[in-house]
Structure formats: C-alpha cells, structure tokens
Amino acid sequence: MAERTVAVASRVGLHARPAMLFTQAVAAGGVPVTIARPGGAPVDASSILLVMSLGVPHGEEVTLAAEGPDADRVLDELVALLATDLDAPEPTAPSGAAS
C-alpha cells in the first residue's frame, strides 16, 4: 500500500469547495484512496461527507493511502492538490483587458 503525508494548504481547511475538488480528483483517479487525520481512523477519500466530517483545518497534515497499479501516481496528484490553496480566488483579467 502506498502512502503520502501532506499539510492541507486551503485556508479554511478541507471543507466545502476544497473537499469537493479533492473528492472529485479521488474519484477520477480510479483507485481506492483513504484519508486520515493524525491518530485517526482512515475514511473513504471519495466521499465528500466523510472527508468533510474529518474537520481538517488549514495546515494540519493528513495521510493518504491507496492500493493499485496507479496508486503512486494518484497519490502524487492528490498531494499536489492538497498542497495548493483551493480557496484562492480565481485569477481575473485586469480591467480593460480584451477578452
């Protein structure tokens, strides 16, 4: 079983939008993934309700685990996602810029 540990970068933690984006990426990965807080039981990372119920705050480390032929690739992609502030505002075009 492959494992990775990563600090959650989103400023509100793993709630609402970040949890939705994370669980969608897990589902798209095609391998079963679990997520756990330090000392906690792992939960199915593809379930937005289970992920949000963990209550992971900004900066806390979580452990991801996966099994399967693409486990390492999927975990690397998920780590990169969680290490990004998924609550950051989308960049907008400067005023007066052509569309």
User: What is the DSSP track for 40-83?
Assistant: SPPEETT-HHHHHHT-PPTT-EEEEEE-STTHHHHHHHHHHHHT
Give the 3-state secondary structure of residue 15: coil
Instruction: Show the tokens assigned to 83.
Output: 């290490």
> Is residue 66 within 8 Å of residue 33, measured between CB atoms?
yes
Q: Tell me the catalytic residues.
A: 15
